[in-house]
Amino acid sequence: MALASLGASCVIVFGAHKSLLSQPRNVIGGHIISTTIALIIWSIFGKSLFIIGLVLAIVLIIMTFTKTVHPPAAASALVSINSQAGWGFLTSIVIGTLLLVFISMIYNNLFQTRQYPKHWL
């Protein structure tokens, strides 16, 4: 289930490597924050359309406040609630985002015309 949101992150990280949305802080932070918030709210209130909408609103506000906006991270929040994946899903997201950033650093820096990341924080 994590592949959907991480696949969308790949498009941004490899295709728009200069974008603020593709920087490690946004990719890693956005996914971890979104998934954690979604799992906390799901654990307390369960799954419903209202909760899904509420989670998306909260995730967007917190990602904006923490400067970790990464659109595919909202999909991680949706997947974690919709699939009722549980806390093990967070481990998959953490490992997936760390691997994605690491591989992107290797790939993007193979080319003289590309530099990734532009900044970490």
Tens place of pLDDT per residue across the chain (121 aa): 667 889 999 999 999 988 999 999 999 999 999 999 999 999 999 999 999 999 999 999 999 999 999 999 999 999 999 888 889 999 999 999 999 999 999 998 898 888 889 877 7
* Local structure of residue 15 (DSSP, 8 states): H
> What backbone phi and psi angles, to 5 degrees, belong to 18?
-85, -15
Q: What is the pLDDT of residue 35?
A: 96
Q: What is the pLDDT of residue 121?
A: 73
Instruction: Report the C-alpha gap between 42 and 27 in whole angstroms.
Output: 22
Q: What is the pLDDT of residue 1?
A: 65
Q: What is the pLDDT of residue 47?
A: 92
Domain extents in the chain: 2-108
Q: What is the pLDDT of residue 120?
A: 77
Q: Which residue's entry shows tokens 């953490």?
A: 94
Q: What is the pLDDT of residue 2?
A: 62
Residue 84: in which H helix or E strand, if any?
none
Q: What is the pLDDT of residue 118?
A: 84
The 10 Å Cβ neighbour count of residue 25 is: 18
Instruction: Report the C-alpha gap between 72 and 87 in whole angstroms.
Output: 19
Q: What is the pLDDT of residue 3?
A: 77
